[in-house]
Amino acid sequence: MDPLILLGVAFLAALLAGMPVAVVLGFSSLVYLLAGDIPLEVIPQKMFSGMDSFVLLSIPAFVLAGNLMNGGGITDRILRFSNSFVGHFRGGLAQTNIVGSMIFAGISGTAAADAASQGAVLIPGMKRVGYTVPYAAAVTAASAVVGPIIPPSVPMIIVGSLTGISVGQMFLAGAIPGILLGLGMMVPAYILAVKYNHPREPWRGWGEVWLSGKDAVWAMGMMMLVLFGIVGGFFTPTEAAVIAVLYAAVVGLFIYRELGWRDLPKLIIDSAISGAAIMVLVGFANVFGWILAAERVPQALIGVMTSISTEKWAVMLMMNILLIIVGMFMETIAALIILFPPLLAVAIQVGIDPIHFATFAVLNLMIGLATPPVGVCLFICASIGRISLWEITVAIWPFLLSNLVVLALVTAIPEISLWLPRLFYN
């Protein structure tokens, strides 16, 4: 049997068997190499070359910074600040959930971290005051999608390492789409709150806004430090990540004082495990991507798309459909490593700005994190709420629709993602 066919069969079989995505990519690549009588030394060589990037060093550091801030009481302060603004509206805790995700996105850079940290607090809290558990879990899963769009963003760091596109410009490009994503989800949250008479929190006055904001200012300071430090040219993304770790440690240990010295070893070990898992995934995805490149699969994909149409709008539509489908079944980082370079070539060929393409490509795959059947955020929030995947899937569709509307706007109007990069870099 043709090695490429065996690769596809092994990939689908491993995926359907429920193996982790990194194992799926490694296993299917191994099957291909054995069938093609290719030396197995290719695996460590390509894994190392895929991970041998200075920019990628920032990923484990950003993971550690997020864990330090979360362990230091950051989540509670962000939620209190968010609640002081929107908690008094009908369905206020749902709005707090969304606003909290928008703020927390500027700290963690990953959707899974947002879903886990906020879900542990808000899903039980929303249940206590009268929300259904599927709805609470759905709001949390959907709003966590904002995490990797608003800077700092792990997927955008991956894109920068793959293509050489400026990570600083990518961070700026994601800011407005991320805010629109959050604001868009607040619309169905309010409509559903009115329809089902969801509870509201009492208005506690501007004094509470001031006190909670003052308490949370150190939390939000990390986002400003990272973003303006990179954009201003003061440090690289990797240096920014290390500075963010130091900042988070100082805030947690000496300012909020909710982080103890004894907590540090566990947080460091947990962050190392999470960071290592991401890097292994990057390594195996690079092996898989090398095989696809050797078999000229990207060129075939380009040929198929351009044979259908070379009109910019048609190509963007096809890309969105492809990425949404891929995002429903494949882990984000693996999908980026495998698909982003060939699709970027198509985008440049038809005149799409690389920054614009990168923004709506990442946005597509992020929406997939809250989309069945393998959306990571769905599984995390369903597990916290102790509900089935079907229950959270039924409850999340209004928020997915709003996310798709924002995706359509970001795709159709390049200035939404390009205005800030042009403002700061031109």
394 domain-assigned: yes
DSSP state of 261: G
Quick check: is 30 in a domain?
A: no
The two three-digit tokens of residue 2, written as one number: 């043709």
- Whether residue 381 is contained in a domain is answered as yes
Residues of the chain with confidence (pLDDT) below 70: 1, 105-110, 113, 331, 373-374, 426
Range of the domain at 211: 41-425
Q: What is the pLDDT of residue 106?
A: 64
Decide if 14 is inside a domain. Answer: no
Domain count, the chain: 1
Q: Can you give the pLDDT at residue 374?
A: 65
What Å distances lie between residue 130 and 126, 199, 200, 330, 376, CA to CA? 7, 7, 10, 35, 26
* Residue 21 pLDDT: 73
Q: What is the pLDDT of residues 120-139, one digit of tens each?
A: 777 888 888 788 999 999 99
Other beta carbons within 10 angstroms of residue 311's beta carbon come to 10
Residue in 142, 141, 77 with CA at minimum distance from that of residue 107: 77
pLDDT digits (tens, 9 = 90+) for 140-188: 989 888 878 888 788 888 888 878 888 888 889 998 999 999 999 999 9
Q: What is the pLDDT of residue 43?
A: 86
- The per-residue pLDDT for 373 is 67
Give me the chain's average pLDDT, please: 84
Q: Do the domain assignments include residue 238? A: yes
367 located within any domain: yes
**pLDDT digits 0-9 by tens, 205-254:** 888 888 888 887 887 777 778 777 877 778 887 888 888 889 888 888 88
Residue 36 lies in a domain: no
Rounded to whole angstroms, the Cα distance separating 93 from 303 reads 49
| Residue 17 in domain | no
Q: What is the pLDDT of residue 40?
A: 84
